[in-house]
Chains A and B, each alone.
Chain A
Amino acid sequence: MAEHCLLEMRNINKLFPGVKALSNVDFTLREGEIHALMGENGAGKSTLIKVLTGVYQDDGGEIRVDGQKIAIRSPQDAQNNGISTVYQEITLCPNLSVAENMFIGRDKNALVHKKQREKRANELLNELGIPARGSQMLGNCSLAVQQMVAIARAVDLNCKVLILDEPTSSLDDKEVNVLFGLMRDLKARGVGIIFVTHFLEQVYEVCDRITVLRNGELVGEYLTEELPQVQLVAKMIGKDLDELSSFGEVEEKHFSDEDIFYDAKKLSSSAALPFNFTIHKGEVNGFTGLLGSGRSESVRAIFGADKVNGGNVTINGKKVKITKPIDAMKNGIGYLAEDRKRDGIIADLSVRENIILALQVMKGFFRPISRSEAESFADEYIKVLNIKTASRETPIGSLSGGNQQKVILARWLLTHPDYLILDEPTRGIDVGTKLEIQKLVLKLAEDGVAVTFISSEIEEMLRTCSRLIVMRDRHIVGELTGSDLNQAQVMKTIAGGEADEG
């Protein structure tokens, strides 16, 4: 008996100016299955979801629901066709009651019958086993319950296809289990669920099938039990295990305990779980893991960029307290943020002003750096880093991505840090600049600067780092050094499972 296909997407294409975000992607969702949609950043997951929910229009391809060809032009269209989405960030109103959140925006009558609404809401919540009352304020519920209320709303809309976009990223283990219970329940009712997540273990816990995308193309559709975790990671990253050879090895360095520059015990922040971390003078280490594994959150905790909750930090053997970025800067730590546009550049200021920013902050605003001093600093680093800019007074926003990145690097180099954290410094910049930045990292290390380097490209990490810290699902799951520093081993560690014990 052929399984009934709820949703078929065939040859979906989506073009953005200059980029082909999706090319001939197929996706099939069957009745009563939980289907994981996997892929790294930029693989096209969210584009596909947005095409399906009507946020974007496809540029070719067809979508069928229950065998009927349909056109989806708006989120409303999607909803009318039985496709509902629950987003990562909760899209409900915290200042309204649970019942209102479930029914608002789709009343037929102008008048609102509160009691009746609450009764209907309670019935549905009971039926789905969601621990909430209709009359409760949504803001008083836990995040997990809020998420489930969003699902209940979707269910009440008679959805056939339910899309859960990263629903578990802000939930704790217990809450995740409750959510999974609800998902299985819906599955038993014949609802098809598309589950987008970056937590591999969760995929293996609830999903029946996995579809993997990479660079806007379909890699394949697999039954979960037929695809081991290592294979899945390989497919997401795009290297088959057999093809992997060990890349150019970094010579092993040995550090003694006296060289320890930074040491953290049980450091945790509002975004990162407690972890231990040590780095030596002149060492380059890297944090790796899939997107959302907690690598950025961890380094942000080191820099005090998120709210630090606890942990003992020593620098050069002295106990220090780093709770905000200025503390870290005063202790000689520099941090190049992951999102250059948001956390890095100030687009309207000139290259010169962007370069002296960190130094100025460290000196305090009452001791301004003189104009001539600033100009000479700017000129020096424009030359050293080979920054291509019309002049030092050009607004940084008009520079190319790679050159912007170099300006930000110059900003930190100017403070002469003892420890520099580079979070994705090579993202979105050309190959030549990437190499320059890698060389610079190695040169800094030779000068005795400790560097933490994060990159999505494992090869790049292998070329620069002498120690790799591997994270999965917000925990450190391994530290690789020496001969373990090869792509196969990194992938095995990221994927966990059998490779972990072996």
Chain B
Amino acid sequence: MENKKTFRREPLTDTQLLMIIAICIFVAMYLGAMLFLGGGFLRAQQVFDMLNDNAPLIIVSCGLTIVMIGGGIDISVGAVTSLVVMSCALFLNNGGNIYLSMLLALGIGLAFGLVQGYLISYLEIQPFIVTLAGMFFARGMTTILSVNPQKVNTEGTENLVELLTSKDPAQKISFIQFLRDMNFKTLLEGKIKIDWLGYTAPNGNRIPVRMEWGVVIALLCVIVIFLLLQYHKLGRGFYAIGGNQTSALMLGINVKRTRFLSYVICGLLSGIAGYVFLMHTGAGNATNAAGMEMNAIAASIIGGTLLSGGVGNVAGTLVGVLTLTTIKKIVVTSGLKDPWWQSITTGGMLCFFIILQSIVLSVRAKLRAKQKKG
């Protein structure tokens, strides 16, 4: 009998339920698109294009999800991403080392995270205000660095990775050489080709699915953050402070430090996102990543993260980004090419999700109250 008790399955948590809803809606939407729109949606490349285009958004959203689980908000992420893109582009064009440019990206993100986190957690200033200031600051800095678009000059070989993994001894390069020859062109144009997912063109050529390196980084970020949130002391701390700050304090959690770290991680991820962005576009532009913070918030919410904190999951956020992108793709494919249609549908979708969430949660709360009484 005791065994039964221990092995009884628990009802889904709010986090899980909201994520499952998001996944169901995403799958339904994608299947619908495949059925009615066909075309690109029938090819695997469509999914990978979505990932290729949105790797930075995925990374930024992960950071934002952490902050939102902790009950905060960070609206500077898009601007920080943009600043990183511009800084790194300029740095590389002025002969900067490729590895140093990566460190620069991380450094800028980290700096924003540290300063904003300090102001919010230790000086207890409203996160919205602090990150709003951070947003203006980063946008301003980006424009000061350059008003004109900065295309990164690329030279060298792009297929270094293929050479590294090559089976032909004549072509194969050593790992040391790989590191020495690493250049931006490899990052920008080197793609991972997945043959079996590709399709055969009418002329008989096999066209493999192409995935950018940024997607690998983004997926790695999702996995790392997922593990952090689920199995690390710090990650559980984010949930605790988002659930009830006073309680978290009483339970012996260092609330200030935990909150501080949530912003630091978010800043760091913005830095990574900026670099991935540059790897995707190969140019810095003052209007880069405009509105990305709002898309990230939307993605987190669609993925089941609550603005009120304590509930959320990065796996859901990934689904959220894909859902958001699918909507936009569907709108474009349906022939509504003007950009405002995307905004309108995104807005409608977000509204729909928020209402759905609040209905689901309130119904659950009522059921729970009944159960408690009964």
Contacts and interface: CB of A to CB of B under 8 A. Distances in A.
Report whether chain A binds chain B.
yes
Interface of A: 75-76, 79, 87, 90-96, 100-101, 104-107, 109-112, 114, 119, 122, 126, 133, 135-137, 139-142, 153
A93 B244 contact: yes
A90 B247 CA distance: 8
B243 A96 contact: yes
A493 B318 CA distance: 65
27 contacts: A87-B250, A91-B244, A91-B251, A92-B251, A94-B243, A94-B244, A95-B239, A95-B243, A96-B240, A100-B236, A101-B251, A104-B251, A104-B252, A105-B253, A110-B233, A111-B233, A112-B232, A112-B233, A122-B6, A126-B2, A133-B6, A133-B10, A137-B10, A140-B368, A140-B371, A141-B372, A153-B251
Contacts of A133: 5-6, 8, 10
Given A75-B250, A104-B251, A135-B10, A93 B233 contact: no
A153 B10 CA distance: 21
Given A90-B247, A93-B244, A94-B244, A105 B232 contact: no
Nearest to A75: B250
A122 B310 CA distance: 24
Contact of B231 (A111, A119, A136, A137): A111
B242 interface: yes
Contact of B250 (A91, A139, A141): A91
Shortest beta-carbon contacts, A-B, top 10 = A105-B252, A93-B243, A95-B243, A91-B250, A95-B310, A105-B251, A91-B247, A105-B253, A142-B372, A93-B240
Interface in B249-301: 250-253
Contacts of B247: 90-93
Nearest to B11: A140
A143 B110 CA distance: 42
A87 B240 CA distance: 18
Contact of B252 (A95, A106, A126): A106
A95 B14 contact: yes
Contacts of B368: 139-140
Given A75-B250, A91-B251, A133-B5, A104 B244 contact: no
B246 A91 contact: yes
A173 to B, nearest CB: 14
B248 interface: yes
A112 B311 contact: no
A95 B310 CA distance: 6
Given A105-B252, A139-B368, 17 more contacts: A87-B250, A90-B247, A93-B240, A94-B244, A95-B239, A95-B242, A95-B310, A104-B237, A104-B252, A105-B240, A109-B233, A112-B231, A112-B232, A126-B2, A136-B10, A137-B10, A153-B251
A135 B234 CA distance: 20
A142 B236 CA distance: 23
Contact of B239 (A93, A135, A140, A142): A93
Contacts of B252: 76, 79, 104-106
A75 B254 CA distance: 13
Contact of A104 (B13, B253, B310): B253
B147 to A, nearest CB: 46
Interface string B295-328: 0000000000000001100000000000000000
A140 B231 CA distance: 22
Contacts of B243: 93-96
A137 B371 CA distance: 14
Contacts of A96: 236, 239-240, 243
Contacts of B311: 95
Contacts of A91: 244, 246-247, 250-251
Contacts of B230: 112
A79 B251 CA distance: 11
Nearest to A87: B250
A171 to B, nearest CB: 12
Given A139-B368, A140-B368, A110 B234 contact: yes
A372 B43 CA distance: 76
Contacts of A94: 243-244
A132 to B, nearest CB: 10
Nearest to B367: A140
A79 B310 CA distance: 26
Given A104-B236, A111-B232, A142-B372, A93 B251 contact: yes
Nearest to B252: A105
A110 B232 CA distance: 6
A139 B10 CA distance: 13
B231 A114 contact: yes
Contacts of A75: 250
Contacts of A142: 372
Contacts of A112: 230-233, 236
A50 B246 CA distance: 16
Nearest to A85: B250
Nearest to B310: A95
Nearest to A136: B10
Contacts of A110: 232-234
A133 B253 CA distance: 23
A105 B230 CA distance: 15
Contacts of B371: 140
Interface string B1-42: 010011010110110000000000000000000000000000
Contacts of A140: 11, 368, 371
A93 B231 contact: no
Contacts of B232: 110-112
Contacts of B14: 95
Contacts of B233: 107, 109-112
A93 B248 contact: yes
- Interface core residue of A94, A112, A141, A153 (most chain B CB under 10 Å): A112
Contacts of A153: 251
A139 B240 CA distance: 13
Contacts of A135: 10
Contacts of B237: 104-105
Contacts of A105: 237, 240, 248, 251-253
A137 B237 CA distance: 16
Contacts of B11: 137, 140
A82 B351 CA distance: 50
Nearest to A122: B6
Contacts of A95: 13-14, 239, 242-244, 310-311
Nearest to A101: B251
A159 to B, nearest CB: 13
A464 to B, nearest CB: 40
A43 to B, nearest CB: 24
A96 B13 CA distance: 9
B145 to A, nearest CB: 38
A112 B236 CA distance: 9
Contacts of B248: 93, 105
